[in-house]
Amino acid sequence: MKEKVVLLKNQGYNVDRIEEKLREGFDLLGGDAYVRQLIPTGAKVLLKPNLLSVEDMDSPVVTNHVFFESVIRVLKDYTDQLTFGDSPGFGTSQRAAQKAGLMEVAKRYGVAFDDFTDKVTVQLHDSLLVKNWEVARVSYESDVLISLPKLKTHGMMYFTGAVKNQFGCVPGTQKALWHARMNNSRNFAKMLLDLNQVVQTKFAIMDAIVAMEGNGPKSGTPRAMDAILMGPSITAVDSVALQLIGYADPTEVPQYDVVRETGWGPVLPQDIQVVGEDLETMKVDDFQKIRGTKEIFGNLDSLKLVKNFIAPYPKLTWEKCISCNRCEEVCPERPKVITMTEKQGKMVPVFDRKTCIRCFCCQELCPVGALEVGETLLGKLLYR
């Protein structure tokens, strides 16, 4: 049987309208009975929004606060035991939740907050790659984890959605360690799938109303996609999101090629049934993606010698840099790839491309968008 993903059309952030859409979405999956099965009586439900870093309210970097409120309104009909939380890549989760407006919404509706600092150790026996895990206790012990990802581009993984959203369940600075330990995008993808085996998302509701294209996941451009995606399979939800932004074959993106290869979850269009809106009429063909193909990227990981001539790299725009050092701080490699060096009268990062693992943590967390995914000349030719 095909995996169902609900696709809904919705413009802008109006709390009543989104609530109505979400209820329509659940109706398409089986209505009240479906939600009652998803959230059994007395179940503890964890909402996991994307709070990548401390961002302003209405920023397309994070799950929108109005969207979050609409989700709570619907789920409140089924449980009073709602908690939300995340562990951002930089800054405290409390601050990130406050600034993005989620904390205020949660207080109004009596939703508890968890800062993801209480950890639990878990062993995963049938892992693809990673057996020993430390994750936020609440993400492991809640009865139902509902992921609330944002549709965005991502420097290293090309795309971030319902699969990658759970990376926030890894507490604090440990996220940087995973970047250092997983030396290529395919291993990083396997690590993400193992993590999703540990924390087990039961349902995903993706905020793709205003997505992010270009220099994501933090410094890209807002892009109105007017879409909400819902479904119990995180890989299927991401597959539909990828098709929406112009990937005819979602496995062009390495992490979803790994999903296909390992049979981890439904990802191929023929295995997924889109219900609600017609996917074809909502697809866009000019979404600014991170460029690359699975073949070239896959080969790159093993071809160390040519990697520096082909692989995308963190590229600095000198004028934008505010010399904050954050990129140097977050770089997971040892010794650091980045050295802050004086150039034209200010301290800016200088990169050693030979040792850079292309995790793009620096690009992801630069507060002013001074770093982007740069392309080499040879890379440009190959990726065309």
Which residues of the shown chain bind ligand SF4 in the complex (CB under 6 A)? 314, 316, 321-327, 331, 333, 337-338, 348-349, 351, 356-362, 366, 368, 370-371
Nearer to ligand SF4, 286 or 319 (CB): 319
Nearer to ligand SF4, 306 or 322 (CB): 322
- Report whether the peptide linkage leading into residue 367 is cis, meaning its omega lies within 30 degrees of zero: no
Nearer to ligand SF4, 107 or 346 (CB): 346
Element (DSSP H or E) covering residue 7 = strand 3-9
Q: How far apart are CA 191 and CA 354, in angstroms?
A: 24
The CB-of-94 to ligand SF4 minimum distance in angstroms stands at: 22
The CB-of-361 to ligand SF4 minimum distance in angstroms stands at: 4
Q: Read off the amino acid at residue 35.
A: V
List the helix and strand counts (H, then E) for the chain: 16, 16
Nearer to ligand SF4, 250 or 349 (CB): 349
The CB-of-183 to ligand SF4 minimum distance in angstroms stands at: 10
Nearer to ligand SF4, 262 or 339 (CB): 339
Q: Read off the amino acid at residue 120.
A: V
The CB-of-54 to ligand SF4 minimum distance in angstroms stands at: 14
The CB-of-325 to ligand SF4 minimum distance in angstroms stands at: 5
Nearer to ligand SF4, 42 or 335 (CB): 335
Vertex 35: Cα angle to 34 and 40 (nearest 5): 110
Do 130 and 191 meet the contact criterion of CB atoms below 8 Å apart? yes
The CB-of-133 to ligand SF4 minimum distance in angstroms stands at: 22
The CB-of-322 to ligand SF4 minimum distance in angstroms stands at: 5
Do 160 and 204 meet the contact criterion of CB atoms below 8 Å apart? no
Nearer to ligand SF4, 11 or 325 (CB): 325
Nearer to ligand SF4, 228 or 370 (CB): 370
The CB-of-208 to ligand SF4 minimum distance in angstroms stands at: 27
SS (H, E, C) 25-68: HHHHHCHHHHHHHHCCCCCCEEEEECCCCCCCCCCCCCCCHHHH
Q: How far apart are CA 267 and CA 233, in angstroms?
A: 9
The CB-of-349 to ligand SF4 minimum distance in angstroms stands at: 5
Residues 6+ apart with CB under 8 A from 246: 283, 284, 285, 286, 287, 289
Q: Provide the 8-state DSSP code for 21.
A: H
β-pairing, 150-154 with 3-9?
A: unpaired
Nearer to ligand SF4, 227 or 356 (CB): 356
Residues 6+ apart with CB under 8 A from 196: 163, 166, 234
β-pairing, 338-343 with 346-351?
A: antiparallel
